[in-house]
Structure 1
Amino acid sequence: MKIAIASAGAPVRYRTAATRARTRTFRRAAVVGAMVVAAALSSTLPAGAVPASGDAFPKANSRTGLPDGWNPGPESYGVGEHKNVEIPMADGVVLRADVRYPTDASGAPAPGPFPIVLTQTAYGKDSEGFLRLLSYDGIGPLLQNALPSVIDVAKQITDAAGYGDYFVKRGYISVVVDIRGTGSSGGQWSILQPQEREDSKRVVNWAAALPDSTGEIGLWGLSYLGMSELLTAGVMEPGSPIKALFPLMPGNHMFQDLLDHDGFLNISFLAAILEVPVTALPQIDPILGLYQQPDKMLSVFVDHLISHFRDSGTWPSVINALLDGDKLYNSPYWESRAIDNVVENIARNDIPTYLIGGQYDLLQDGTPRTFAGLQNAYAGRSHNGPMPADAQSSGRYQMLTGPWFHIQPGSQRTTNDVDMHAIELAWFDRWLKNDHNGIDETKTPLHAIDVNGNVIESATYPVREAPAKRLYLAGGGQLSADKPADAAGSDRLDFTPINAGTVCNASFSRNFAGVYQLLTTLIGVDDPCAQFPAEPNVPPVLVNPVYTTDAFTESTVLAGPIGATLYAVSNKPASAFNVTVQDIAPDGTVTALTDGQLAGNYRALDEDRTWRTPDGSVQGAFHPGSRESMLPVVPGEVTEYNIKVRPAFHVFEPGHRLQITVGTGDFPTHILNPKDYPALLGSTYDLERNNSAASYLTLPLAPASQLRH
């Protein structure tokens, strides 16, 4: 594996060096109070600073991900705008777009032609315009020195909403379109509905014909915007105007990644999006965008209001799921909204794609799966499996992942920020302006940054330099490379509906879409809850089995997806498991790394989508999640459960240990199917750790020396 980092030089995306110096002054004081509050909320786990890394790996900086010698071009143009350009759809519904274009010194449109960067948003282009006045324009520059952290957060949210002036000033036309039923566009919205793809085809062809354009389009956007662009590219015909993609935090399978974590309903995520993005913004945005045209404003407002009450609307869907309706299970409804089902067409159409993921993102498993799927499909392999260890990779499909929350890609928790704007510009310059700047000329298209800024690169995902190995649950709370030899051995686990019992832990922080991190950034500190595992032990009230490795004697890297294969006996016709992974420092400091959940009746495997190692171990479980795939839990019977533990990239320093905790839930981040609680209450599980039923982890763990060459 090549470990590389470019020299410093490009501007930081969110927090400038000067801003960082200012915020550190009061950060030290603020963090003390924040950590005290967090520790009280989080239980009795020891808390402390994130452990410092040694010198084994080079560190990320603002130029990480950029080609050597390449720098962003200067701001050569001004910005003009056409507001609310109407785009009629086939059924008569009108979508509206804002087109921002380069201007010359006089303010007139600059002579083109220019390529296009296109964003399709569900959160309202006029919300982005309002935010732009609070961040990059308007009062933003006036308050940057007085309230640097506040303005930085405003910029982060503006970027997430589709801010494109960075590119316009460097010779691009920026188009932001409100998708059907959102923003200033008419019609009714349903999450990632197939109708959006039909609309997108018309939008793409319309944008390609804009005056002064080259007709070539790059799609980009974060979260829903990134999902939308991948689904759009996935339904296009060969030779379409789309020439490059830059999706940030897009995931792979919305049902699996966001809503239902193998039988655990993601309440934290729903709490993050239901009130404002899904309910309030669709009603506010028509007022922001169409207040000068009251007749159109009223029509769009009513359209959006109707959306909330359709069977496919978000609130009815949530109620349906809570009542054990069809929306609680995977089905053609959800499969029609899955990125996983279009990656082959993206690769077949040879559309270069640069993915951005986050290890503190709630889509931390899905985005790497999409990367592997694109690489596999481009090479003619099935997109469903892991990349083979000996696979040849292409620089046309890349992924950069780091210790970032959902709305803040590139904003480092403990190290220098990464210039995400510059990476995106380099990518689009390469494919839309034919600038052979070197960004695609890499043999290691997977780039990962851990929480301490260590940069790891590989040609494959899973990382071939860190082949998965088994660590067995052993007596005395040990994790051992040796399979148990004893004929008997087990540990008792009691179900509790509370379990985590706090909203201050890594799982809630991540699944709450990084809202905590946004709020704490306002006062110049990082989210103090993000380091706490969601499985505290509070004897005698709550005692979960804990298993720990010996201390590492050299720097050791955890790199990618993790499987937990548990053999357990339940005394009731139901079961539930939550596995957390953490780093234990020599002084006892606990740092949460990742976790995974599984309700017992969801344990069936989709073998076509499940990732196995050469010895047959499950490293990346994929549970169908359909109503038809549910399996009964038979009391008193040894049952195999394969838990998908979301991936992590982390360097364990010498003296540190890897620890897992096995619990029965992750409340209040997740809840189980309400109808299952009567069977779950009073249930206990014997976790087997003997020679006939040896529970184990399958994880990519290797000495750092094995990854540096």
Structure 2
Amino acid sequence: MGVLVIAVVLPMAAPLAIADPPSTVDLPKANPRTGLPEGWNPGPERYGVGEQKNVELPMADGVVLRADVRYPTDAVGAPAAGPFPIVLTQTSYGKDSAGLMRLLSYEGLGPLLQNALPSVIDVAKQVSDAAGYGDYFVKRGYISVIVDIRGTGSSGGQWSILQPQEREDSKRVIHWAAELPNSTGEIGLWGLSYLGMSELFTAGVLEPDSPVKALFPLMPGNHAFQDLLGHDGFYNIAFLASMLQFPITLLPQLAPILGLYREPDKLTSVFVDHLISHFRPDGTWPSVFNALLDGDKAYNSPYWESRAIDNVVEQIAANDIPTYLVGGQYDLLQDGTPRTFAGLQNAYAGRSRHGPMPATAPSSGRFQMLVGPWFHVQPGVQRNTDIDMHAIQLAWFDRWLKDDRNGIDETKTPLHAIDLNGNVIESATYPLRETPTQHLYLESDGRLTPDRPAAQTGSDRVTFSPVNGGTICNSSFSRNFSGVYELLATMAGVDDPCGQFPAHPDIPGLLDNPQYTTAPFTEPTVLGGPIGATLFAVSNTPASAFSVTVQDIAPDGTATALTDGQLAGNFRALDEERTWRAEDGSVLGAFHPGTRESLLPVVPGQVTEYNVKVRPAFHVFQPGHRLQVTIGSGDAPTHILNPKDYPALLGGVYDIQRTEGAASFLTVPLAGVSQTRR
């Protein structure tokens, strides 16, 4: 695979003004082999598939978890001669839901409808894979285990989000799986979203030299509260809307019926257990109402810190468990997964897990990340960047579970990024050492320039509005709605048409959302990593709110949404240990504590500094294109602010300063392609 590699730190980024003829330098393009080792192929299916259903695993407190074990068989259907390593998934969505999707995609109706409804069947396969279906690996010599975690699927007990009890259960699950007949006793963990989070937490509580030898978490994030629920004072209503009704409320009651309908006594017991989950104090619905009423769940706390992946990465690195992360440019966890990658690399090298990787740092191929323009439930799927995620995963597990030295870990650039147009960007570090940071200052007449303002006065006005453009067809909603739009669009053979629409247009007379734009780029220019927006603003109310979006503006004026970030003014305090700063001290990746105790009042009439965390972007601007930033306030219906704060927010007017003494700016990782190759 072609790569973009640089061995030294660059002193400066690309110029923004047109001065030279456009460059003809191009980046490599993604193709079906992107991410695979040179010369390696997944090989053919060699085995059939046998299954043991609902194997019971008693936990220490008597709660029974249930697992399905699928194993390789020979030509006559008998267990094949082994032993075989194990790939294991712990799911919160019901192993039998995955089984149903399997019957509707890979088996049953799937083959019959493949020619008539190819896109629909492909989506059914993607959902089946996301839910933990692992026959791809079984047919190539693995035992596949999928376990319903406590309080979900066919397992007993009560569930609450990422509860620490799950980790105690996982220790027993791992010990049991390692002793399965005909297995090598070596285990690889894998899963998407909650399943990926679960595997990281499992690895984070295991002893050294445990049976777990490799991880492959897809879209796992880093901090559940910061990534999913509380975007620096904004509640992520779109995410909750995508999850509350079916996956969290209805599915736990339907899944036992799918798995235990032949055993009515067990079905009844599990059904009641799951029903009780909804009414526990830490159950989902009570927690939502608690947050909306300004209860403790609305703020970061020991409760949420105990559910933060950030707090287990040091143990994973100490246990030396090779980990291949997959993230998405349009994933609602787009900030957290790269932070986990940097944390693992830092911890493995003996540095603090909290900071960015130093630009001069070496990196290890034992910890890698692949990120592309993918939504939450469909990693690897997009018109320009369809890749073979199964094959990459197989290569990873073959390397660490079968000792196949296929070269997947032999890389000096363990970060692999693919942009919306299929351009491949690789680096040894995150943030990318190839794209050093620069400042782009807000200037008069909507300009965004590298030059600090010299004016003594000057500002632009934002008037608070609880909504964005008043639509649910925009990139912010598409991403935070868990990628459901993309899932539906893929059935029609297209990409989500809303995914590229900016969420905060400037609509004169309706929405005062000032926009600032660079001069056109003179060569292909890489934007790679987190973005900091440092705003100096004066509010006329004792509360404020900011939503910052970044777009690519084509020569014909077409705007393509790249990323965004939100900040409620009273959440502006910084957690200095977790905040990422550029070499000059400016904030590149803000981390706001989000605790009730850290809230700061907004003083009307006073110039106040706000550091907005703009989620990372991997993108290549083509010659003639421009970078634009838009500053808005509310972001409903994607996000809402704390209901108790709206009386103080309504009527708010914020003057964004752009003066010599209070210069608002972006801290942006940006460099021309020609410079990255020096």
How far, CA to CA, are the matches of 2:513 and 2:142 in structure 1? Answer: 55
**Counterpart residue number, 1:409:** 379
Matched, 1:137 2:120: no
| Shift in Å, 1:553 | 1.0
**Counterpart residue number, 2:393:** 424
The CA deviation string for residues 438-485 of structure 1, in whole angstroms up to 9 with x for no partner, is 000000000000000000000000001111111111111111111111
**Counterpart residue number, 2:548:** 579
AA paired with 1:516?
A: Y
Aligned 1:312-331 pairs, distance under 5 A: 312-331=282-301
AA paired with 1:283?
A: Q
Q: Do the aligned partners of 2:345 and 2:364 also contact (CA within 8 Å) in 1?
A: yes
How far, CA to CA, are the matches of 1:96 and 1:665 in structure 2? Answer: 45
**Counterpart residue number, 1:366:** 336
Q: Do the aligned partners of 1:2 and 1:457 also contact (CA within 8 Å) in 2?
A: no
Matched, 1:248 2:212: no
Aligned with 2:246 (options 276, 291, 308): 276
Q: Do the aligned partners of 1:181 and 1:187 also contact (CA within 8 Å) in 2?
A: yes
The CA deviation string for residues 95-118 of structure 1, in whole angstroms up to 9 with x for no partner, is 000000000001000111100000
**Counterpart residue number, 1:686:** 655
| Shift in Å, 1:416 | 4.2
How far, CA to CA, are the matches of 1:644 and 1:539 in structure 2? Answer: 26
**Counterpart residue number, 2:316:** 346
**DSSP-derived class of the 2:99 partner:** helix
Q: Do the aligned partners of 2:398 and 2:404 also contact (CA within 8 Å) in 1?
A: yes
Q: Do the aligned partners of 2:459 and 2:658 also contact (CA within 8 Å) in 1?
A: yes
**Counterpart residue number, 1:625:** 594
**Counterpart residue number, 2:497:** 528
Matched, 1:68 2:38: yes
How far, CA to CA, are the matches of 1:592 and 1:416 in structure 2? Answer: 18
| Shift in Å, 1:136 | 0.9
AA paired with 2:582?
A: T
Q: Do the aligned partners of 2:313 and 2:340 also contact (CA within 8 Å) in 1?
A: yes
**Counterpart residue number, 1:438:** 407
How many residue pairs get matched?
661
| Shift in Å, 1:74 | 1.2
Q: Do the aligned partners of 2:281 and 2:287 also contact (CA within 8 Å) in 1?
A: yes
Aligned 1:504-583 pairs, distance under 5 A: 504-583=473-552
**Counterpart residue number, 2:89:** 119
**Counterpart residue number, 2:617:** 648
| Shift in Å, 1:543 | 2.2
Q: Do the aligned partners of 2:161 and 2:284 also contact (CA within 8 Å) in 1?
A: yes
AA paired with 1:587?
A: D
**Counterpart residue number, 1:296:** 266
Aligned with 2:145 (options 175, 181, 199): 175
| Shift in Å, 1:540 | 1.1
Q: Do the aligned partners of 1:2 and 1:707 also contact (CA within 8 Å) in 2?
A: no
Q: Do the aligned partners of 1:204 and 1:241 also contact (CA within 8 Å) in 2?
A: yes
How far, CA to CA, are the matches of 2:676 and 2:55 in structure 1? Answer: 52
| Shift in Å, 1:255 | 0.3
**DSSP-derived class of the 2:123 partner:** helix
**Counterpart residue number, 2:453:** 484
| Shift in Å, 1:2 | 7.4
Give the TM-score, by structure 1 length: 0.92
| Shift in Å, 1:500 | 2.8
Q: Do the aligned partners of 2:385 and 2:418 also contact (CA within 8 Å) in 1?
A: no
How far, CA to CA, are the matches of 1:238 and 1:102 in structure 2? Answer: 29
**DSSP-derived class of the 2:252 partner:** helix
Matched, 1:156 2:121: no
**DSSP-derived class of the 1:529 partner:** coil
Q: Do the aligned partners of 1:2 and 1:456 also contact (CA within 8 Å) in 2?
A: no
**Counterpart residue number, 1:638:** 607
Residues 370 and 687 of structure 1: CA distance in aligned 2, closer, same or farther (over 3 Å): same
How far, CA to CA, are the matches of 2:94 and 2:469 in structure 1? Answer: 36
Q: Do the aligned partners of 1:2 and 1:708 also contact (CA within 8 Å) in 2?
A: no
The CA deviation string for residues 7-63 of structure 1, in whole angstroms up to 9 with x for no partner, is xxxxxxxxxxxxxxxxxxxxxxxxxxxxxxxxxxxxxxxxxxxxxx98611110111
How far, CA to CA, are the matches of 1:448 and 1:172 in structure 2? Answer: 29
How far, CA to CA, are the matches of 1:84 and 1:201 in structure 2? Answer: 19
**DSSP-derived class of the 2:546 partner:** strand
| Shift in Å, 1:73 | 2.0
AA paired with 1:194?
A: P
**DSSP-derived class of the 2:498 partner:** helix
Q: Do the aligned partners of 2:199 and 2:217 also contact (CA within 8 Å) in 1?
A: yes
How far, CA to CA, are the matches of 1:416 and 1:596 in structure 2? Answer: 25
Which consecutive unaligned segments of at least 5 residues does structure 1 have? Answer: 6-52
**Counterpart residue number, 2:17:** none
Aligned 1:428-507 pairs, distance under 5 A: 428-507=397-476
| Shift in Å, 1:138 | 1.2
Q: Do the aligned partners of 1:500 and 1:668 also contact (CA within 8 Å) in 2?
A: no
How far, CA to CA, are the matches of 1:688 and 1:373 in structure 2? Answer: 35
Matched, 1:200 2:170: yes
| Shift in Å, 1:587 | 0.4
The CA deviation string for residues 47-102 of structure 1, in whole angstroms up to 9 with x for no partner, is xxxxxx98611110111000000000210000000000000000000000000000
**Counterpart residue number, 1:663:** 632
Matched, 1:105 2:71: no
**Counterpart residue number, 1:27:** none
| Shift in Å, 1:708 | 3.3
**Counterpart residue number, 2:227:** 257
How far, CA to CA, are the matches of 2:506 and 2:614 in structure 1? Answer: 20
**Counterpart residue number, 1:3:** 3
The CA deviation string for residues 549-600 of structure 1, in whole angstroms up to 9 with x for no partner, is 0011111110000000000011110000000000000001110000000000
Q: What is the percent sequence identity of the aligned residues?
A: 79
Which consecutive unaligned segments of at least 5 residues does structure 2 have? Answer: 6-22
How far, CA to CA, are the matches of 2:285 and 2:31 in structure 1? Answer: 42
Mean alpha-carbon deviation: is it higher for 342-351 or for 541-550? 541-550
The CA deviation string for residues 632-673 of structure 1, in whole angstroms up to 9 with x for no partner, is 001111100000000000000010000000000111000000
AA paired with 2:3?
A: I
Aligned with 2:27 (options 50, 57, 62): 57
